[in-house]
A and B are shown apart, each in its own frame.
Chain A
Amino acid sequence: MEENLISKKELLELTGISYGQLYRWKRKNLIPEVWFIRKSTFTGQETFFPRQEMLARVERIKNMKEDLSLDALADMFSPSPSDVRLSLDEIASRNIVTRETLKVFAELYPDISGMGFIDILAAYAMDRALRTGEVTRAEAGQMVRTVEEHIEKFHGKSCDLLFVRNLGIGTCLLVDSSADIYFDSNSNVAVRISMADCVEQIKMLVP
């Protein structure tokens, strides 16, 4: 059995939730369909989940379900953008994106006044990428443009932002999170950012 998976049985035991709760959360889209991984075992068909993501998600739901309705929670976990518009100043003062990163962002889009959700998402992803120390400002700018241009085409499906370097030449990709991708041996992935994760974080910071 793979290390990074958790069986449904073990999940219920570890977290103390019931079958009914798990199915209800699945029904209300609090847990993405792709996390349910079917496997045949000697005791019949069983369901497995990505261990870390699933345990973190269940903990979050358990902590927050007192304060928020299931529908509001589903909205928070959904990778679709929400409806917001903030000024650059508000974003910096709420510590969503650092001022330094915002400066780089503003250089890319000199006449920007307010930021919509996609802009915030792009800036947030850039912030993360720059913090890894693996990409230059110019390369991070390339990532921002990729997000701005293409993320809507995923229609709320979760996707990952990658920066790949091949013998000193960098390129940026936006791919479906569940897609398999393979590169030639000269390439290495400098940064991989889960956009779904970014969306979730931003939705926590921007109610």
Chain B
Amino acid sequence: MNEGSGINLVISGVGTASGGTYQNVEIKGVGTVNGDIRCVVGRVEGVATIVGSVAAENLSIQGKATIRGDVMGGAVTFEGQVKVSGRCNADRFSGMGGVRIAGLLNADEVNLRLVGPTHIEEIGASVIRVVKEPVPTIFGRFKTLSANVIEGDDVYLENTQANVVRGNDVVLGVGCKIASVEYRTAFKAHETATVGQHSKV
């Protein structure tokens, strides 16, 4: 998807850099990038703030990343916290932690293990799987996903609050609160899930 420039960007410790086209981007420690980044592999270990958009074939985040733009990626994986002010396009979006995406999360596969409070305005994907991570944390009661619209072919949700869930095959697990479910082939809900209305379309 992206052609790297052969140049790497490495921030170790505390640093600031400008955006641009790179081969690999590595931020270890605390880093700020002012501008859009295009790269083949992007890695964050620590805290990164990107004042711009990120396009990467592979993007992995361990720690915290704040992206004040869009994310365009092949595979996006994370452990920790991810904040995206725009939208997020990826082939695969998976990880554990807390996520905030202000726009649409558009991916083939979305796999979320909730540890912290998560808000994604809209999710559109082929396979969507959202589970509550079983490890006890002090933030235990915030292991929820809130969303406006969730649409997918194969949808499994836990601890999710949403206005609308649409899908072929929709399964709601523990702790879901969904105002309206529209499904095409199958629908199942756990006894602790509350559903306003559901209809087969």
Q: Is the CB of A23 within 8 A of B106?
A: yes
Interface of chain B, helix or strand or loop or mixed?
A: strand
Check B124 against A9 for contact (C-beta < 8 Å). no
- Contacts A27-B89, A43-B182 known; A19 to B124 CB distance under 8 Å? yes
Partner of B152, one of A20, A26, A27, A45: A20
Decide yes or no whether B180 CB sits under 8 A from chain A: yes
CB closest residue in chain A, given B166: A19
Interface residues on B, range: 20 to 34
Partner of B125 from the list A9, A13, A23, A44 (CB cut-off 8 Å) is A23
Closest B residue by C-beta to A22: B124
Q: Sort chain A's interface into a size bin.
A: 10 to 19
Q: Are A44 and B126 in contact (CB under 8 A)?
A: no
B174 interface residue per 8 A CB criterion: no
Q: Are A19 and B152 in contact (CB under 8 A)?
A: yes
Contact A18 B180 (CB under 8 A): no
Assess the B168–A45 pair: CB atoms within 8 A: no
CA distance A23 to B149 in the complex (A): 13
B127: interface (CB < 8 Å): yes
**B residues in contact with A27, CB < 8 Å:** 89, 106-107
- Is there contact, CB below 8 Å, between B124 and A23? yes
A24 contacts the other chain (CB 8 A): yes
B164 touching A24, Cβ below 8 Å: no
From B126, B163, B168, B180, contact of A23 by CB (8 A): B126
For B108, the chain A residues whose CB sits under 8 A away are: 20, 24
Cβ of B138 under 8 Å from chain A: no
B contact residues around A22 at 8 Å (CB): 124
Complex CA gap A21/B126 in Å reads: 7
Contact A44 B124 (CB under 8 A): no
Is the Cβ of B106 less than 8 Å from the Cβ of A19? no
Q: In the complex the two chains form, is A45's CB within 8 Å of B163's CB?
A: yes
> A19 CA to B149 CA in the complex, in Å?
13
Give the residue of B125, B163, B166, B184 whose beta carbon is less than 8 angstroms from that of A20: B125
Q: Which B residues have a C-beta under 8 Å from some C-beta of A?
A: 89, 106-108, 124-127, 148-149, 151-153, 163-164, 166-168, 179-180, 182, 184, 201
- Between A and B, 8 residue pairs with Cβ closer than 8 Å are A19-B168, A20-B126, A23-B107, A23-B124, A43-B164, A44-B163, A44-B180, A45-B164
Residues of A whose CB lies within 8 Å of any CB of B are 9, 12-13, 18-24, 26-27, 43-45
**New contact pairs (6) apart from A18-B126, A23-B126, A45-B163, CB-CB < 8 Å:** A19-B167, A19-B168, A20-B108, A23-B107, A23-B124, A45-B149
- Kindly list the 5 A-B residue pairs having the minimum CB-CB distance in the complex, ordered from nearest: A20-B126, A44-B164, A23-B124, A20-B153, A18-B153
